[in-house]
Structure 1
């Protein structure tokens, strides 16, 4: 459901996907309130405001921002939202990264990817246009723990999935039928343009062997929808996605 052309879709009832320059964040709406998972790019704020208006809400009505990790393309709106009184949280191992979202570990030099994969240049340009080069860090709470059931609307369970970053976490909204994977598993790699289930390339992944090992934690999603940080939702079952990503391996 939704209008893909506008960047707004509803992959599951009450779960709204905001897609700006192939960077996803998700607004969950339940009877208890609103939870934003990840915070996209700075210009994702325009799309968020459009969605909130449709829902009869405003930014201050968001009960929590839960970050899967601290990379620049997932924290673009955090500083503004925190400034408006919205609480935000991340795993302790990524708290420093949220403060300094460009200071991240990666296995391969980023500059080599546009040379090897020139098809990604339009995506990179779109990300830059939407603020990818101007993200300001923020100080957020650090209290996510593996297995914890969060006291936020939707009540997701935290699934530790380190590798992409040290503190990367997925969020299992079991009763809503979705697993939000962040960048633990994506269906579009912005650094290669490759589509299908995979981990993110070494240009932005700290430890690919660990990232591949962490995929096993996502199997508990079963046949529920996987919602990645980049690319379209996956509806073909968690095991099929994980097996495909493992076959592809690091890249």
Structure 2
């Protein structure tokens, strides 16, 4: 038995306040610095994104917390290959053989063949800015310098996604990374926005729909322009990669983002 197959000892993470269920079977987990989503129905469950590498115990225990077992995941979906979203995925492969799926355009990033991550040098140069040093300190302690790519990751197809719990649909929104994807949960009227649209961050002075700081994007201008890809997407629940979940139409959230 894998050492992560059994339920972990009591975790100090406050699951009661950091795990919500905005729609039945859709669980939103606000992690220490990035979020992940558990989507379940009668056919099983999937995990979308997976925190930093050292968040693995929290990710696993969040699954137990909502009454599921880590080894039963049908798939782990990755919105993009940054270390704070990919961090625990490799453990699911190693322990359970769980498929890890991402967009075709992001596959080489998730597999570790290329890297589209803010550099340590950029972070150091920006360390004088409010919030950057504390964010960098946490990122390093959470395993940012030891990313866990997933060489066995596969590119999803529309048909394969459609067959998974929640009937996820991928929408390419490049710019944050070249292959970044937003995931529409068709059965829940909810959208997982990854880092294409967030609602809060340690470098931000406000909460609500917004873009990440420019230094995190591969191409910040493209990232903003690509949000127009979402203009015709209907969803009333927004589940971002950073910040709290929002009960707000995606159209209104995008309008707020562009006016800020």
TM-score (norm 2): 0.83
Are the counterparts in 2 of residues 120 and 192 from structure 1 also a CA contact under 8 Å?
no
The alpha-carbon deviation at position 60 of structure 1 amounts to 1.3
Shift of 1:145: 5.3
Q: How does 1:1-251 map to 2 (within 5 A)?
A: 7-84=18-95, 85-100=97-112, 103-104=115-116, 109-117=122-130, 119-144=131-156, 149-192=161-204, 194-248=206-260
Following TM superposition, by how much is the alpha carbon of 1:40 offset from its aligned partner in structure 2, in angstroms? Answer: 0.9
User: What's the CA shift string for 1:52-92, capped at 9, x where partnerless?
Assistant: 32344322101100110101111100111111210001112
- What secondary structure, in the 3-state scheme, does the structure 2 residue paired with 1:70 have? coil
Q: Offset of 1:201 from its aligned partner? A: 1.9
Three-state SS of the structure 2 residue aligned to 1:209 is: helix
Alpha-carbon offset, residue 5 of structure 1: 6.0
CA distance 1:130–1:7, change in 2 (3 Å): farther
Equivalent residue of 1:171, what SS? strand
CA distance in 1 between counterparts of 2:213 and 2:123 reads 10
Taking only aligned residues, the RMSD between alpha carbons, in angstroms, comes to 2.7
Q: Is the 8 A contact 2:30 2:244 kept in 1?
A: no
1:120 Cα offset (Å): 4.4
Distance 2:48 2:66 in 1: 17
Contact 1:146 1:159 in 2 (8 A): no
Higher mean Cα deviation, 141-150 or 23-32?
A: 141-150
1:122 positional shift: 3.6
Q: Aligned with 1:111: secondary structure?
A: helix
**Cα distance between partner residues in 1 of 2:63 and 2:118:** 35
Are 1:37 and 1:65, in contact at CA under 8 Å, matched by a contact in 2? yes
Asked if the contact 2:174/2:226 (under 8 Å) is kept, the reply is yes
The Cα shift of 1:111 comes to 2.7
For structure 2, list consecutive stretches of 5 or more residues without a partner in the other structure.
1-13
SS at match of 2:192: strand
**How much does 1:29 deviate?**
1.2
Deviation at residue 158 of structure 1 after TM alignment: 0.9
Cα gap change, 1:102 to 1:245, in 2 (>3 Å) = farther
**Distance in 1 between residues matched to 2:191 and 2:70, nearest whole Å:** 24
The answer for unaligned runs of 5 or more in structure 1 is none
Q: Secondary structure of the residue that 1:81 maps to in structure 2? A: helix
**Larger mean Cα displacement after TM superposition, 50-59 or 82-91:** 50-59
1:139 Cα shift?
1.3
The question of whether the paired residues in 1 share the 8 Å contact of 2:101 and 2:154 is answered with yes
Q: What is the TM-score with the length of structure 1 in the denominator? A: 0.85
